[in-house]
A and B are shown apart, each in its own frame.
Chain A
Amino acid sequence: MTVLILTSEEDVTADMVVARLHTAGAPVMRLNPADLPGKAVLSADYAHGDFDGHLSVNGHVLSMGGLRSVWVRRPGEPAAHAAHPSPWLTAETRQALFGMLYSAPARWMNHPRDADRARLKPWQLRVAHLSGFAVPPTVFTTSPRLAREFAEEHRDVVVKSASGPPPGEPGVALPTTLIGPDTDFSAVAAGPALLQRYVPKRADIRLTCVGQQLFAARKAADPGQVDGRYGDTGHPWEPVAVPGRIAAAVREYVALASLAYAAFDFAEDEEGVWWFLECNQGGQFGFVELETGQPISAAVAHWLAHCTADRRVPGRR
């Protein structure tokens, strides 16, 4: 049974898992949807009440009957590398590829339907509450008045983007930024603003969940540091034990969200409390493994190569 990895060729984090799968002798196919059509060829047959499908790329062939699992890593847009790309061609190719993959009884890390929902920051906060995490007070509003009242109540507040920085060239960064109650909030009316009470932290925590396995890493923060992803603090990531309460909340969260993989970001405050900031269904783990030695890629490879196929056939009554 083959593992299918949807990602770009330059994704070296995927390489870490591919190498593990090779060592284990597990068949793997690596496909960038951007190469379909083109380098990759697809065919799906729906006849006589039965389904069969095939993918081939770079000399590798995969039948849907032999597909065990799909890892969605860093895939390009379908048909992006076509000779004549267009939004229509992307839509057609997306239909063909994902329509076929969804028809196979494969397990996903993570299923795109669950991934789409998991990316919604307000939904993450709700699930975090239900799971038992400590969550900093947060508001997501288009009302300048409510934004101002929130800032006046909590004094030190950060603004963050829910969807990330605006795409395009030249590149733009949009780190979590500390603001005060004297900020001019009138522009909140021009777009939803996500404001959260600032958690003065003594460390960043990155917890990677792969199936039932948890890997937590800690990086000491500089005084006053807000967004640990930007700027080199000089502190390394180090392994840290997962408190029992956090482990229970993580397991509850991934169950509610139907996620096979999730990367949680916490702020550890001065009293050692881990405050939930976000859960990233596709968060990077390469940097954590390289610095801490934690066997995350091995865990991912093991999950992909050993998960039981999903025998629920869509649409069957």
Chain B
Amino acid sequence: MRPFTLNYAFPSGLTTMVTPYSFDAARQLNVLPDGRPAVMDRELLLAAGTTTSTAGSQTHFDD
């Protein structure tokens, strides 16, 4: 018998997103192709959805 709560689970449909920024090890943050910190582009971050309450990593569920 499947646990009751799992009756309300469904495929999330989330796909791995290709984000237009990459990690700069020296500066210790993500940068855009032009070298600016990704956090300077608010619209980009909102569109990427990587700061939302459901954007958990694979290893951490505290959202």
Chain A residues near B (Cβ < 8 Å): 8-16, 18-19, 22, 28-30, 34, 58-60, 74-77, 80, 115, 119, 147, 159-161, 163-167, 170-175, 177, 179, 185-194, 206, 229-230, 280-284, 286-287, 290-291
Contact = CB atoms under 8 A, between A and B. Distances in A.
A74 B60 contact: yes
Nearest to A265: B53
Given A12-B50, A74-B57, A173-B11, A194 B5 contact: yes
12 contacts: A163-B61, A166-B9, A173-B12, A173-B54, A186-B1, A192-B3, A194-B5, A229-B52, A229-B54, A286-B52, A287-B46, A287-B51
A290 B51 contact: yes
Contacts of B21: 12
Interface of B: 1-14, 19, 21, 23, 25-30, 37-39, 42, 45-46, 48, 50-63
B4 A185 contact: yes
Contact of B57 (A19, A76, A280, A286): A76
Chain B contact surface mostly: loop
B57 A80 contact: no
A160 B19 CA distance: 31
A161 B10 CA distance: 13
B46 A30 contact: no
B8 A159 contact: yes
Contact of B37 (A19, A59, A171, A283): A19
Nearest to B54: A229
Contacts of B37: 15, 19
A122 B9 CA distance: 21
A77 B59 contact: yes
Contact of B25 (A28, A58, A165, A206): A58
B30 to A, nearest CB: 5
Given A19-B37, A75-B59, A286 B45 contact: yes
A238 B6 CA distance: 33
Nearest to A286: B51
B3 A191 contact: yes
Contacts of B46: 287, 290-291
A119 B6 CA distance: 20
